[in-house]
């Protein structure tokens, strides 16, 4: 079972990934189609609940999105965002 800090880290990473994905203009389906071994449903579960995706897969996703991996660990607090920014 995951500890509290690990759950919080995954949830933060999930929120950051969703922010980047939307900023880059990809739907979950479009992004998943471009990442070998990633399904839309796994991506959705990660973004909603912080379900586990390996660091290796997250690195691959962030490379595809042309965004630094370390951004996933930036703490931004509670922010609201929309597709239009």
In a domain, 77, yes or no: no
78 in a domain, yes or no?
Answer: no
Q: Residue 50 maps to which CATH number?
A: 1.10.260.40
pLDDT number for residue 71: 94
What's the pLDDT score for residue 85?
Answer: 43
25-79 pLDDT, tens digit per residue, is: 999 999 999 999 999 999 999 999 888 899 999 999 999 999 999 999 887 765 5
Q: Is residue 31 part of a domain?
A: yes
**Size of the chain in residues:** 85
Structural domain includes residue 81: no
In a domain, 14, yes or no: yes
Diameter of the chain measured on Cα atoms: 38
Query: Which has the closest alpha carbon to 17: 78, 51, 56, 67?
Result: 67
Q: What is the pLDDT of residue 8?
A: 85
Number of domains composing the chain? 1
Backbone angles phi, psi at 20, to 5 degrees: -65, -45
Domain that holds residue 17: 4-70
């Amino acid at each position: 079972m995951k500890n509290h800090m690990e759950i919080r880290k995954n949830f933060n990473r999930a929120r950051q990934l969703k922010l980047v994905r939307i900023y880059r203009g990809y739907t979950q389906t479009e992004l998943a189609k471009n990442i070998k071994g990633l399904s839309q449903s796994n991506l959705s579960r990660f973004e909603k609940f912080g379900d586990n995706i390996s660091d290796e897969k997250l690195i691959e996703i962030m490379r595809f999105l042309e965004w630094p991996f370390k951004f996933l660990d930036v703490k931004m607090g509670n922010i609201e965002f929309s597709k239009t920014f």
